A and B are shown apart, each in its own frame.
Chain A
């Protein structure tokens, strides 16, 4: 199939960028979306134009490194990561607009690659259980009810890709944040630091310049791991308890 790509090009973080149109021909429907971009890049290189920068690593939907805004939808038309999107989701003649995640908390580094270190800093603020190596009791010392373990797991599958922020009209990272809060809140190991965790992580989230959540739900809709919106309710509940506790 033949496509028209409109791609955001920006030589570096401080430069102004623009959308550039590239026609691409003979795209096989078995290609992944990123392989299609690889092919484009090979061609650009041959023509002496610098290839389009975009991030990816595992290319199997688990590392969270990839992430493009494709025709206005984070990760494109399927509920999956950009690397797992295949060209059979497009048809001959389509115009495909490709942009980076847009959020003040995710500055563009070049073309389609953005800096998501804000997420690491949010985790720094409390997204862990404070236990030193070697200090752990036997793993069977504390049973965890299966439902809690399952919900903790569901939340813990977040791959930190940032699609939720990219899709959110408020530019909020609440789904990401809620996923971590819920993961640890569902487990006995996470209880001791539950209140300080939520206060500090929310504080950091706001400092990073992410917007406030108004429960619109675009985040969940594009989340490749289908993290449910109810993790944000858990975040809010913990916040309510934590604030109340401080009174």
Chain B
């Protein structure tokens, strides 16, 4: 779970960095998308790294979800009878919404792939340029809202997930590191979710245009 989660975090960081090219205009962004596919050629065929990445991500996703559902069912078995009254003492909202939040993210990931990878859903038309496609979609308000909500969910998932990953890997075995891990979770969550959100926001606010 932690390892796959780490893969995701690494991936979303890169992905977000890439998205920010949108602020540099169509040419830069499209170049970046193109470069992504040319990376490590000719060692790999065109788009090869992207495919490797996709395989790794898919494997991670399957592993991650499988582990998540295993934990979920163990938890249900570990408490066969529920409390009549149960209060939350300190747990963060993020930590308590990992499961449903994760499911929401899964739904989003599917939507996201159908939208920007397979071009199955085309709310803003279906132009060739990745840049135009992106900006065009976000000009449709509800697409932007879906993305923004998903980023909120992602932020929350990372806020607990990144801390949890460090803890699961056993890297937080003293009080100072434990506190640092919490801070890492918070910072990563803000950076990733915020970074991603900038693009749809930019489009909505008219900073990024076609």
Contacts and interface: CB of A to CB of B under 8 A. Distances in A.
A and B: interacting chains = yes
Interface of A: 6, 8, 19, 69, 71-73, 97, 99, 102-105, 151, 167, 169-172, 182, 209-212, 214-218, 220-222, 228-240
Contacts of A233: 166-167, 170-173, 177-178
A170 B91 CA distance: 12
B98 A214 contact: yes
B75 A169 contact: yes
Contacts of B85: 69, 71-72, 97, 99
Interface residues of A, dominant DSSP: mixed
B178 A228 contact: yes
A211 B81 contact: no
B90 A170 contact: no
A238 to B, nearest CB: 7
A146 to B, nearest CB: 14
Interface in B139-179: 160, 163-164, 166-175, 177-178
B87 A211 contact: no
Contacts of A222: 89
A72 B87 contact: yes
Given A71-B87, A230-B178, A233-B172, A216 B77 contact: no
Given A73-B87, A73-B89, 15 more contacts: A6-B84, A72-B83, A97-B84, A99-B83, A104-B77, A211-B75, A214-B95, A214-B98, A217-B90, A218-B91, A220-B90, A228-B175, A229-B167, A236-B167, A238-B170
B78 A218 contact: no
Given A169-B91, A209-B78, A211-B77, A69 B83 contact: yes
Contacts, number: 119
B128 interface: no
Contact of A240 (B96, B164, B169, B177): B169
18 contacts: A72-B86, A73-B89, A99-B83, A102-B79, A104-B79, A170-B75, A170-B78, A211-B79, A212-B71, A215-B167, A217-B92, A218-B88, A221-B91, A228-B175, A232-B167, A233-B171, A236-B167, A239-B170
A230 B166 CA distance: 11
B174 A230 contact: yes
Which of B82, B169, B173, B174 lies at the interface centre, i.e. has the most chain A CB atoms within 10 A of its CB?
Answer: B173
B170 A234 contact: yes
Contacts of B171: 233, 237
Interface string B76-119: 01111111111111111001101000000000000000000000
Given A72-B86, A211-B71, A234-B170, A217 B95 contact: yes
Contacts of A217: 90-92, 95
B71 A214 contact: yes
Given A104-B79, A230-B173, A216 B87 contact: no
B167 A104 contact: no
Contact of A172 (B78, B87, B92): B78
Contacts of A209: 77-78
Interface in B169-209: 169-175, 177-178
A214 B75 CA distance: 10
B168 to A, nearest CB: 5
B185 to A, nearest CB: 10
Nearest to B79: A171
B81 A102 contact: yes
A180 to B, nearest CB: 15
A76 B169 CA distance: 32
A126 to B, nearest CB: 18
A229 B178 contact: yes
Q: Which 8 A-B pairs have the closest CB atoms?
A: A237-B170, A171-B78, A211-B78, A72-B87, A236-B170, A72-B85, A170-B75, A221-B89
Nearest to A17: B81
Contacts of B98: 214
A103 B74 CA distance: 12
Given A69-B83, A211-B77, A236 B169 contact: yes
